[in-house]
A and B are shown apart, each in its own frame.
Chain A
């Protein structure tokens, strides 16, 4: 491998940019494709699309694809009961978890041992985390002053999963507010609400399972028509 290719690969990983290293194992020839570039005329286009989606490395017809996707993040806005279950579960599932809540009575290390907590308003906290297309966000405070700015930031960052707690009625009011504030219909349609897969969850922990499952579904169907976020 050329040092320059490795350097570009490491740079892409550093920038959380999906990248695939393509190796012809017979000749040793290698090249790098990142998701930021237009690879629509690449002879391997279909395979690249599929591998960017799945994140799975593997050998096909003498070509080895080493797929590098950024580690997914989970940002939970609201240090509430549901979050106390969701945060550790998301961490176990492999997400890099951050909890945001400006209400210092909620955002305490006692309630979230060993987890990254930012006790600030979303406009201050979110830039610190850095939302991107490999970030899931769940807003669960029930307070529009906190939830709405977080949702707006999630639209702009193209988060792969955006969930918002609240009944259909609550959500309808939320959509009206965000629309009045200038949100696009396509973005509003990306909000999963009521939040979570419909598993008849009742307790906060059960709701957390429903949310985590929905986020995983979105992650694994990334870029696939009819499911998850478009890449």
Chain B
């Protein structure tokens, strides 16, 4: 339910207002989680072409990596699926310290 995740309301409104203001915007959404993940499925992060962002998909663990990918999605317009977790070889860098695994879908807002 949304009430457990009030910040989500603001993120989608922010995405709409950024786009309407002429900014190029990508939206990242947590689509799957395994084990203990810090943010529930359906959580959003909005990113603009300069790497400004609002919202959260992991409580801070992988936001940096998601923002980097989102800027590329804004460039080429192609949606992509990102996966983060301890099984990842870069886990020590951008993994989830809680030991969970998450999938994040990143798409451009046309």
Chain A contacts to B: CB under 8 angstroms: 1-3, 6-7, 9-10, 13, 23, 25, 28, 55-59, 64, 66-72, 94-96
Partner of B12, one of A13, A28, A57: A13
By the criterion CB–CB under 8 Å, are B79 and A70 in contact? no
Closest to B27 in A: A1
By the criterion CB–CB under 8 Å, are A6 and B3 in contact? no
Say if the beta carbon of B93 comes within 8 Å of chain A: no
List 20 additional contacts besides A13-B12, A23-B105; criterion CB under 8 Å: A1-B107, A3-B16, A6-B15, A6-B16, A6-B109, A7-B16, A10-B13, A13-B9, A23-B107, A25-B79, A28-B107, A57-B40, A57-B42, A58-B31, A66-B29, A66-B42, A71-B3, A94-B1, A95-B3, A96-B3
A-B contact count (CB 8 A): 68
In the complex, chain A residues whose CB is within 8 Å of the CB of B75: none
Partner of B3, one of A1, A9, A56, A72: A72
By the criterion CB–CB under 8 Å, are A6 and B31 in contact? no
By the criterion CB–CB under 8 Å, are A94 and B3 in contact? yes
Say if the beta carbon of B76 comes within 8 Å of chain A: no
Say if the beta carbon of B86 comes within 8 Å of chain A: no
Closest to B103 in A: A59
Ranked 7 nearest A-B pairs via Cβ: A57-B42, A71-B3, A28-B79, A94-B3, A55-B1, A64-B31, A57-B41
Partner of B110, one of A2, A56, A59, A72: A2
Closest to B29 in A: A66
Say if the beta carbon of B50 comes within 8 Å of chain A: no
For residue A49, give the distance in angstroms from its CB to the closest CB of chain B.
17
By the criterion CB–CB under 8 Å, are A25 and B105 in contact? yes
For residue B56, give the distance in angstroms from its CB to the closest CB of chain A.
15
A-B contact pairs, 26 of them (CB 8 A): A1-B107, A3-B16, A3-B110, A6-B12, A6-B15, A6-B27, A9-B12, A13-B9, A23-B105, A56-B41, A57-B41, A57-B42, A59-B31, A59-B41, A59-B103, A64-B31, A66-B29, A68-B2, A69-B2, A70-B2, A71-B1, A71-B2, A71-B6, A94-B3, A95-B3, A96-B3
Closest to B25 in A: A3
Say if the beta carbon of B87 comes within 8 Å of chain A: no
* Bitwise interface map of B from 23 to 63 toward A, beta carbon under 8 Å scored 1, else 0: 00001010110000000111000000000000000000000
Closest to B15 in A: A6
What separation, in Å, do the CA atoms of A66 and B78 have in the docked complex? 20
In the complex, chain A residues whose CB is within 8 Å of the CB of B3: 71-72, 94-96
Given A71-B3, A94-B4, A1 and B109 contact (CB-CB distance below 8 Å): yes
For residue A222, give the distance in angstroms from its CB to the closest CB of chain B.
11
Say if the beta carbon of B65 comes within 8 Å of chain A: no
What separation, in Å, do the CA atoms of A191 and B3 have in the docked complex? 25
For residue A75, give the distance in angstroms from its CB to the closest CB of chain B.
15
